[in-house]
Amino acid sequence: MKEEAALEVVDVSCVFRVNQGFMKGTKALHAVNGVSLKIPKGKVVGLVGESGCGKSTLANILLGLQKPTSGNVLYSGSSADSFSQRHIARRIQPIFQDPYSSLNATKSIKSIISLPLRVHRVGAPADWDRKVYEMLDLVGLPRRVAQSFPSQLSGGQRQRVAIARALIMRPEVIICDEPTSALDVSVQSQILNLLQDLRQELGLTYLMISHNLAVVEHMADRVAVMYLGRIVEEADAATLFRAPSHPYTKALLSSVLTPDPHLGVPDTQLGTVFPNPIDPPSGCSFHPRCAACMDICREQAPQPQINGAHMAECHLDTAAAG
Amino acid sequence: MIDMSLSPLRGQQTAEEILEPSPMSKLRRRIFKNHSFMIGAAILIVILVCALVAPLLAPHDPYELDLSKRLINPFWHDKKTDAEFMLGTDKIGRDYLSRLIYGAQISLLIGFSTILISGVIGTALGVTAGYFGGRVDMMVNFIINTRLAMPVFLVAMAAVVAFGASLHVVILVLGLFLWDRFAVVMRSITMQARDLDYVKAARAIGCSTPHIIIREIFPNVLSSLTVVATVEMANAILLEAALSFLGFGVQAPTPSWGLMLNEGREYMFFSPWLLALPGMGLFLLVLAINLFGDGLRDVTLERER
Ligand SMILES: Nc1ncnc2c1ncn2[C@@H]1O[C@H](COP(=O)(O)OP(=O)(O)OP(=O)(O)O)[C@@H](O)[C@H]1O
Ligand SMILES: [Mg+2]
């Protein structure tokens, strides 16, 4: 457990004021609600959860793009307040979901990949071209795409360009926000394997956000499960997939399609309603959808139960521990 | 589940995969296929060239009057024509063709300088409001609404009364008043662009806000800006003609088409060409600009699809 954290958040919350319509005032939306997460150096941490649970908001906080309402972000142990955005940019870079909107359509590939070098004035301008070509080799693109524009490339090629742009400054941490969900299945595994190779070659640390459990299982050393702005379970990937303890994690795992067509579409027992984050349920925010809901769940929010490297936030564990 | 056994295919991307022609060549091909763009551009270029080389093209000095040669008919009449004055002369004997050519200069000058001033004001306001949102947006919206509450025509008349009528006053008034459409369009486009991932990526790289607005977002809104500019240019040219016609715009003896319409008014029934010719000029110019703008919109919108 005592590994050095490349990146750490301590009890961060992010509250948005949401307009309720004309003259109705605003309401608080807790997109991220008291999350603590440690990303150890050189490891891959997976973050899973349904749409709207606050994964991207957490990623934005880590990237310094969103100021947390409260809590602390630590880069290698020092508080984010002592870093400028340019500092953060050199250590942490994002890869976004949609490679169609993450590349500026009016710029050439060369200009897109070299933008970080130009902004940070790294090295001599004469070297920039060479560095761009090196990156293209690294991500498996032919050098001649340097002159082309994003609209001339396929989705997978664009995502490779986005990866090249993220890596050209040699950052320590890459935040991948669903890096493959916008791609064809055949291309997905290529990109994931590329990310895997690059990690080994360059010693990178990843935060891998996904709602595809297969991706996380394949890539991650540690997995955090997020629900309605909170991390409800966190454990080593092997442990979590073998012995999940939170009912939400269990439901998520059971929702993965099995290869056997006779079993049909699995029943997640989750129902369809994701609760409104503006108006979260009382007690444990998962209780309306929980298969094992008890009386206490409706009234009292569970405290995190830490059992070795396994953390879960559920009254079942509290009962078992007590 | 995903088949993870596929090889990474690194370095195996072949050159054949990049078959798409470059966006520039695709754009060029679409431009040549777009009739309204081509027709508009052709007329516009003719008028532009006429205006630029007016001193070479015009057979006479547009200000030189000869009272002995008043109201000479243009060449298609059989009576009272003069080979020296192809399109006749006006009521004080000035060559009408020369005045028409120099009139194009005035119209284009008004059009271009107006959209230059109003484009800068409107784009700056709109992009700022769209990018920053919130309070800044509210303030800009207030300014836009204030501007929309003021009728250009009345303000122009008031300005003329206050500062006297001249070309400069007309350009300044139109430039300072026709920026609302620029602001509204730029604001909404910037708002959409602001949330796209490439802007987020630029911020994560550590680009400064001015860099993001000017170097990243602006090139993406440029095509919409050009379309708005054509609409505003046509608008400005017509407004100048109207103001000059009413005597609140360009003053005699400057050869403005609007002013020529006014001067020809009394002779409407005996020498209708005095009205028809500058009217045709205005009609052609505005039509060309609108065709050009429409074509441009089609061509660039198709690119975004
Ligand atoms: N700028 C914002 N203003 C107001 N609400 C926001 C803002 N950004 C996000 N939210 C809200 O915060 C919640 C979490 O959003 P977030 O984008 O982090 O979810 P997510 O887990 O990334 O979802 P997805 O899987 O769909 O990407 C959502 O309910 C969203 O509506
Ligand atoms: Mg997201």
Partner-chain contact A119 B211, CB within 8 Å: yes
Q: Of A25 and B189, which is predicted with more confidence?
A: B189
Calpha distance A5→A74 (Å, rounded): 9
* Residue B8, CA atoms < 13 Å, CB-side half-sphere: 15
* Substitution site in A56, A63, A208 for ligand 1 pocket (most atoms within 8 Å of beta carbon): A56
**Atom 12 of ligand 1 has which residue's CA nearest to it?**
A31
The 3-state DSSP class for residue B145 equals: helix
Mean model confidence pLDDT for chain B: 85
Chain centre distance of CA A191: 16
Tens digit of pLDDT for each residue in A4-15? 888 999 999 999
Calpha distance B286→B293 (Å, rounded): 10
Confidence band, pLDDT 50/70/90 cuts, at residue B129: very high
pLDDT of A265 higher than 60: no
Rounded to whole angstroms, the maximal C-alpha distance in chain A is 68
Mean pLDDT of B219-226: 89
Instruction: Report ipTM for this prediction.
Output: 0.89
Of A24-33, A40-49, A273-282, give the lowest mean pLDDT range. Answer: A273-282
Q: Give exposure, A96-130, as e/b (b: 16+ Cβ within 10 Å).
A: bbbbbbbbbbbbbbbbbbbbbbebbebeeeeebee
Q: Is B154 on the interface with A (CB under 8 A)?
A: no
The 3-state DSSP class for residue A59 equals: helix
Calpha distance B285→B234 (Å, rounded): 8
Q: What is the pTM of this model?
A: 0.84
Q: Which of B18, B201, B220 sits opposite A96 (nearest CB)?
A: B201
Q: Is B211 on the interface with A (CB under 8 A)?
A: yes
Q: Is B16 on the interface with A (CB under 8 A)?
A: no
Question: Which of B72-86, B133-147, B252-266 tops mean pLDDT?
Answer: B133-147
Whole-angstrom CA distances from B111 to B101, B128, B165, B174, B280 are 16, 25, 18, 9, 17
Calpha distance A322→B159 (Å, rounded): 84
Q: Of B85 and B149, which is predicted with more confidence?
A: B149
Partner-chain contact A106 B204, CB within 8 Å: no
Chain centre distance of CA B203: 34
* Substitution site in A57, A63, A67, A279 for ligand 1 pocket (most atoms within 8 Å of beta carbon): A57
pLDDT of A49 higher than 70: yes
Tokens of residue A7, six digits: 């990146």
Q: Helical H runs in A139-244?
A: 155-167, 185-202, 213-219, 237-242
Mean pLDDT of A273-290: 83
Confidence band, pLDDT 50/70/90 cuts, at residue A258: low
Q: Which residues line ligand 1 (CB under 6 A)?
A: A 16, 18, 29, 31, 49, 51-57, 211, 277
Sketch the domain layout of chain B as residue ranges.
43-60+73-304
Q: Between A and B, how many residue pairs show a Cβ–Cβ distance under 8 A?
A: 121
The 3-state DSSP class for residue A4 equals: coil
Mean pLDDT of A224-242: 92
Q: State yes or no: cis peptide before B151, omega within 30 of 0.
A: no
pLDDT of A167 higher than 70: yes
Partner-chain contact B6 A193, CB within 8 Å: yes
A99 C-alpha to ligand 2 centroid (Å):
14
pLDDT at B8: 45
pLDDT at A264: 55
pLDDT at A269: 60
- CATH H superfamily, domain B43-60+73-304: MetI-like (1.10.3720.10)
| Percent of chain A with pLDDT strictly greater than 70 | 93
pLDDT at A282: 85
**Atom 3 of ligand 1 has which residue's CA nearest to it?**
A16
Q: Is B220 on the interface with A (CB under 8 A)?
A: yes
Q: Which of B196, B204, B219 sits opposite A94 (nearest CB)?
A: B204
pLDDT of A48 higher than 60: yes
Single out the residue of A63, A66, A62, A74 nearest to residue A16, CA to CA: A66
Ion ligand 2, residues whose Cβ is below 5 A away: A 56
Calpha distance B269→B243 (Å, rounded): 23
Whole-angstrom CA distances from A74 to A42, A78, A170, B128, B204 are 16, 5, 19, 33, 17
Q: At what angle do helices A109-120 and A125-138 cross, to 10 degrees?
A: 130
Q: Of A132 and B73, which is predicted with more confidence?
A: A132
pLDDT of A118 higher than 60: yes
Reduced to 3 DSSP states, what percent helix, strand and coil does chain A have, rounded to the nearest 5?
40, 25, 40
Residue A175 near residue A96 (C-beta atoms within 8 A): no
Chain B nearest-CA distance from A93, in A, is 7
Mean pLDDT of A122-141: 92
Sketch the domain layout of chain A as residue ranges.
5-321
Confidence band, pLDDT 50/70/90 cuts, at residue B128: very high
A252's enclosing H/E stretch is helix A247-254
pLDDT of B305 higher than 70: no
Which atom of ligand 1 is the closest one to the Cα of A17?
A: 4
* Residue B79, CA atoms < 13 Å, CB-side half-sphere: 3
Confidence band, pLDDT 50/70/90 cuts, at residue A40: very high
Tens digit of pLDDT for each residue in B262-295? 888 888 888 888 888 999 999 999 999 999 999 9
Architecture in CATH of A5-321? 3-Layer(aba) Sandwich (3.40)
pLDDT at B11: 46
Tens digit of pLDDT for each residue in A189-199? 899 999 999 99
pLDDT of A203 higher than 60: yes
